[in-house]
Amino acid sequence: MFTLHWKPVRTSALPIYKQIADLIKGKIETGEWPVGSKLPTERALAQELGVNRSTVVAAYAELSAEGLIEGKSGRGTVITNNTWTLLAAAPPPDWNAYVHAGAHQPNLPAIREINQAEFIPGIIRLGTGELSPELFPKEKMQSVLRRLIAQIDALGYEEPKGLLRLREQVSRYLLGKGIEASPDSILIVSGSLQALQLISVGLLHRGSTILLEKPSYLYSIHVFQSAGMELYGLPIEQDYQDFLRRLTDVKKLKNAALLYTIPSFHNPTGRVMSEENRRKLLSVCERERLPVIEDDVYGDLWIDTSPPPPLKAYDKTGSVLYTGSLSKTVSAGLRIGWIVGPVPVIDRLADIKMQTDYGSSSLSQWVAAEWLESGVYEEHVQEVRKQLRKRRELALIVLHKYFNDIACWEKSGGGFYIWLKIKADISPEKLFAKALEEGILLNPGNIYDRNDRQHMRISYAYAKPAELEEGLYRLSKIIREIKS
């Protein structure tokens, strides 16, 4: 979706609609916005630029009169010509045909809209899966960086599995969770999302089926589908009993290649799989020879009690590929995560990673190593837990105040999320659009389960406390309005 990153000059003698038309004409002329592309809707552009919709309508009318754009029924407003195609005999390449030809599937439209809207100034982000900038450990990061200045002699390409010092630190850190993993069985990745990407292209055949919890974070991305795989979700309830009961049958029925699970502070439900269920799950998977990806990015963020040890801690047969990351605890922008597994698997994934990006940022790897080695990580995580506790308490109080009669929810024991269930059936698209108009950005449930029409993922980690309260209040009003 196009954005302008520009604001009209209100003091200019040139009318605002003309400024907008000229700017878009420039984008079309230079080929930055190619023929065949869709322009933003009048509503979206008016919102982005902070102008009346009628101003955008006038700008589009001018471009249309010049033959550059056309309103197409059902497709919005499309660029039909650039000044070259109007003048020249040889048209430029049709970039839109290329854009639709790539193997990777596009993101879900809702996710693309969220990714854009996150940067609208003043927007209240009620669903964002990231720590608030308020919780960024600025002083700790400064002292880590200062110490590193004296230590770093070079920032070259690192070993295929990543900086040895970091892998040693990850190995030590994982021992604290009961996972015995030598540095040789650890691959440093650019966020745990990359671990999923490497698995999808490095270990699985096209046409394979991946089992997973429903709802799940995995439905919000297309890593496996883009590699030609299918997802098969098994609904999870609070106690996982049905999920576990059905697992064996579904594995056989679908000839599934792998199970993806988030046992601690599940995204989006916030649930924790009990120790007993973890053991049951692992024994089913071992019996059925079903490898597991255990995604543990939220495992350190417990608020009440620490979750049971990860599946990987019980894994004596090498069935589990375990992923973790600094994204949810320290900083997502570092893009540092890890995957642990049998050495031949890690070697294979490291080889693909070398072919993909020659390794994660060397600087980020040094930073991550120093965070873990110096003990600052543990200190910081304790502080994050305290802050998350305060934020969760606030969210629960506010939900109780404004949502008691229109929704229900479970109290989360850690992580970032409350899986809010609206009692009425409301169109997620309508709710998302209406909330956006009112300056609130939501993560509707259908991102995590295509058929969901009742849930919303509320994150208490991102918005400032006052915004969280205000945003939830406004959301409750919107839901009441739409319902009535």
Ligand X SMILES: Cc1ncc(COP(=O)(O)O)c(C=O)c1O
Residue nearest ligand X, Cβ-based: 191
Using CB under 6 A as the binding rule, whether residue 129 contacts ligand X is answered as yes
Quick one: 409 or 448, whose CB is closer to ligand X? 448
Interface residue with ligand X among 51, 193, 229, 281 (CB under 6 A) is 193
Quick one: 33 or 173, whose CB is closer to ligand X? 173
Using CB under 6 A as the binding rule, whether residue 365 contacts ligand X is answered as no
Quick one: 77 or 364, whose CB is closer to ligand X? 364
Using CB under 6 A as the binding rule, whether residue 337 contacts ligand X is answered as yes
Buried b (16+ CB within 10 A) or exposed e, 176-210: ebebebebebbbbbbbbbbbbbbbbbbbbeeebbb
CB of 188 to ligand X, least distance (A): 12
Q: What are phi and psi of 340, to 5 degrees?
A: -120, 135
Q: What is the DSSP letter of 302?
A: B
Nearest partner of 4 among 28, 24, 22, judged by Cα: 24
CB of 322 to ligand X, least distance (A): 12
Residues 70-109 that bind ligand X (CB under 6 A): none
CB of 332 to ligand X, least distance (A): 5
Quick one: 185 or 325, whose CB is closer to ligand X? 325
Quick one: 59 or 166, whose CB is closer to ligand X? 166
Using CB under 6 A as the binding rule, whether residue 162 contacts ligand X is answered as no
Residue that the structure tokens 């200062």 belong to: 146
CA distance 380 to 445: 31
Q: Are 263 and 273 in contact (CB under 8 A)?
A: yes
Quick one: 340 or 426, whose CB is closer to ligand X? 340
Using CB under 6 A as the binding rule, whether residue 217 contacts ligand X is answered as yes
Interface residue with ligand X among 44, 297, 442, 468 (CB under 6 A) is 297
Using CB under 6 A as the binding rule, whether residue 192 contacts ligand X is answered as yes
Interface residue with ligand X among 208, 209, 267, 269 (CB under 6 A) is 267
Interface residue with ligand X among 48, 158, 295, 467 (CB under 6 A) is 295
Q: Where are the alpha helices (DSSP H) in 160-309?
A: 164-175, 192-202, 223-226, 241-254, 275-287
CB of 128 to ligand X, least distance (A): 9
Interface residue with ligand X among 61, 284, 332, 352 (CB under 6 A) is 332
Using CB under 6 A as the binding rule, whether residue 339 contacts ligand X is answered as no
HEC profile for 149-185? Answer: HHHCCCCCCCCCCCCHHHHHHHHHHHHCCCCCCCHHH
| Number of residues in the chain | 484
Cβ-based neighbours of 195, under 8 Å, separated by 6 or more: 187, 189, 293, 321, 323, 337, 338, 339, 349
Point out which span in 37-45, 158-166, 188-196, 401-409 binds ligand X (CB under 6 A).
Answer: 188-196
CB of 220 to ligand X, least distance (A): 8
CA distance 444 to 427: 10
Q: Check the CA dihedral 469-470-471-474 and report its sign.
A: positive
CA distance 127 to 460: 8
| Apex 266 CA angle, 262 and 267, nearest 5 | 105
Quick one: 196 or 244, whose CB is closer to ligand X? 196
Q: What region does 291 belong to: left with phi over 0, alpha with psi -120 to 50, or beta?
A: beta
Q: Binding-site residue total for ligand X (CB under 6 A)? A: 13
Q: Are 383 and 275 in contact (CB under 8 A)?
A: no
Using CB under 6 A as the binding rule, whether residue 300 contacts ligand X is answered as no
Residues 389-448 that bind ligand X (CB under 6 A): none
Quick one: 132 or 325, whose CB is closer to ligand X? 325
CB of 267 to ligand X, least distance (A): 4
Per-residue CA distances from 112 to 115, 129, 131, 209, 457 (Å) = 5, 15, 20, 25, 17
Using CB under 6 A as the binding rule, whether residue 48 contacts ligand X is answered as no
Cis peptide before 215 (omega within 30 of 0): yes
Per-residue CA distances from 187 to 88, 162, 179, 192 (Å) = 53, 6, 15, 11
Instruction: Give me the amino acid identity at 105.
Output: Q
Quick one: 190 or 319, whose CB is closer to ligand X? 190
CA distance 67 to 419: 48
Quick one: 263 or 291, whose CB is closer to ligand X? 263
Q: 3-class SS at 91?
A: coil
CB of 127 to ligand X, least distance (A): 11
Residues 227-266 that bind ligand X (CB under 6 A): 262
Quick one: 267 or 319, whose CB is closer to ligand X? 267
Residues 312-331 that bind ligand X (CB under 6 A): 325, 327
- Chain residues binding ligand X by CB under 6 A are 129, 191-193, 217, 262, 267, 295, 297, 325, 327, 332, 337
